[in-house]
Structure 1
């Protein structure tokens, strides 16, 4: 009989930030389908129904889930997510932390404002740093931390001065934490790096930006299309499993081969 126990997440508790829609929702549902209990984080009131729908899908898969409204940009709200996970946990520990929540407003350098810079770094960099600090006292041996990075971290996409810099910072954190925290806490820290993905954010992006991206999409080695969230979520889930125990400080290609 086939044995896929190394991919099973039963009994583990996960926090997924920005999990009400898009990639975050797909990751939360994927983890739930593999048996994990999931804290579905969302920020604004307008996302509450979408987040509730994610919880419902996880529960329909037979796993536990709970909502947690909190802004990752506000370090004082990190404890809300930690407390929600500990209430959900069967072990008194947190096994999985997914840093997915992010801002990604396109702006050429001459359009970058201090506010745009600050809000992006608060959400995309400061948030993961201080949420990780809050989780560490409760993280299980064998725990997993995964960043959802972006091809923008390395491709040099016009209009992504700030966003690309935040994602490069995420990848740097993963490399540093793999060394700094690995043996100390018995955990792994990795990234996945999607390219363009068919999410609300993509649909809401500037038409000129999407036109500019068209040649790149046409040249994507895996297929001449943008990704679906179902292309990304299983890769994140894999990095959370026992089978991925020897992978840390890495960036797993999730962009169809735009770069590795």
Structure 2
């Protein structure tokens, strides 16, 4: 049974399906050229293989996963941000519009903050993890929020973190040019507290998380074709090794890996 009253089941399914499709865009088969687009680090791969006692196939698979995972973080950001377009009072601006905010929440009846201050609009900058901003980025975000408060005295600005250090809705301060800057209307908020604030349901984010596994599985199971890619990196590396005339496969792949990163360095170009 659907027990979430702040988003319909149809809209939730639609959003989850769109997020999965974002994954699909990144799941095109990876060949050797794509694999080495940014040039892999042969030395690290060699250490990893031997220190962890795993095969070249596993090392290559891990690197492919790492490359995809970096791109798929954008899909997860899409999920966390764009879901609010289906929740009353929330606007999710297109990239760069409305001051570049991730979410703008408006409530004409008022929004009460923990210190009892009441405002009617919240501007949100969303981050997936609490430690993803360096000091320069944090300072830039703080200045952006300060400017918003200058232009609108009936609002608050939130830094909403999906993976926060703890459940919280607290004042946020940063150090800029060795000076501590903070404001009572600039707040650091964990995503569960943000959901609670806009839906009135303390368990809103918990309900979303509980529903996700079932909906994801149903959508994946009902897809007409599987999205698992047929990567060709190992196959192409083994084809490279045939030209190297090295009889031991493990050593041949090792040499091919070195060629990927160091192929135009002295000594390596002879292979």
Q: TM-score range by the shorter chain?
A: under 0.3
**TM-score, length-normalised on structure 2?**
0.27
**TM-score, length-normalised on structure 1?**
0.28
